[in-house]
Amino acid sequence: MATAPAWTPAEPLIRIADVHKAFGAVTVLSGVSLEVMKGEVICVIGPSGSGKSTLLRCINALVPIEKGSIQVEGQEVNDPKLDKLALRRKVGMVFQQYNLFPHKTALQNVMMAPVHVLREDKAEVEARARRLLKKVRLEGKEASYPGELSGGQQQRVAIARSLAMNPDVMLFDEVTAALDPETVKEVLVTIRELAEEGMTCLIVTHEMGFAREVAGHIYFTDRGVIVEHGPPKEFFANARDPRTQQFLSQIL
């Protein structure tokens, strides 16, 4: 956008300010503000239905917002003239239900978007896709179809698929919620490696142990607002708000 001010890494990569969103009569977000700096790992926790997933979908414009502002690298997402495709190239997203394309192999799943959306050279993309699959420990599964893979393997293909677009930030939407307990770990390990490499991550999760370990900052949402936030040590040790205390006592 010509009107967008130049963004520098010193400013927040994602800046969410007073965002409101309702589905019909149901209010999902009522004044959420949050900032993510480049290289930061943010975890958002909170009870089901508190608007966490909706917040993520607002960031890459899958869901429009009614009021407030969301900026990704200085670009206003709520702008009607927004180039959605340009935004989505910067923002990778991984879903709870993986949503892999069942008619394509793991390798093809990873290659599709760079080849057809970014129109990159096929041989180059293939080399990158193989590298990414290796990185998520799926070497040898390139030719497997999603139906032939376990949930954890599918989710790691989905992570590789998203990474293939070379995004600046990754959004994880309860990516382990649909997995068997024994496969949860392999996915979390993959995400932690990404975080350690400096990838900016915004993670919605129910895995408290993981959040404590990986997050630089934790946000707790309930009924469409951010109740409390802070560094994990402080957040888990001395939660001040009664709602947070109650939630943590139920989970931990």
Chain contacts with other proteins (rule: CB under 8 A): 60, 62, 84-85, 88-89, 91-93, 95, 97, 99-103, 112-113, 116-117, 147, 158, 161-162, 165
Calculate the alpha carbon distances from 99 to 61, 79, 161, 162 in Å: 18, 28, 11, 11
Can you point out the beta strands (E) in 164-216? 169-173, 200-204
Pairing of strands 169-173, 200-204: parallel
Query: Which DSSP category does 93 fall into?
Result: E
> Minimal distance in Å, beta carbon 136 to other proteins?
17
| The residue count for the chain | 252
> Minimal distance in Å, beta carbon 170 to other proteins?
11
Helix (H, G, I), strand (E, B) or coil at 219: strand
Return the number of the residue (101 or 234) whose C-beta is nearest other proteins. Answer: 101
Q: What does the CA dihedral 179, 94, 113, 141 come to, rounded to 10 degrees?
A: -30
> Minimal distance in Å, beta carbon 99 to other proteins?
4
> Minimal distance in Å, beta carbon 135 to other proteins?
18
Return the number of the residue (88 or 243) whose C-beta is nearest other proteins. Answer: 88
Helix H or strand E encompassing 69: strand 67-72
Return the number of the residue (95 or 220) whose C-beta is nearest other proteins. Answer: 95
Q: How many CB atoms lie within 10 A of CB 250?
A: 8
Calculate the alpha carbon distances from 240 to 45, 71, 162 in Å: 15, 29, 37
> Minimal distance in Å, beta carbon 54 to other proteins?
13
> Minimal distance in Å, beta carbon 98 to other proteins?
8
Return the number of the residue (12 or 146) whose C-beta is nearest other proteins. Answer: 146
Return the number of the residue (171 or 215) whose C-beta is nearest other proteins. Answer: 171
Quote the radius of gyration of the chain (alpha carbons, Å).
Answer: 18
> Minimal distance in Å, beta carbon 56 to other proteins?
10
Return the number of the residue (38 or 89) whose C-beta is nearest other proteins. Answer: 89
Q: How many CB atoms lie within 10 A of CB 158?
A: 26
Return the number of the residue (7 or 145) whose C-beta is nearest other proteins. Answer: 145
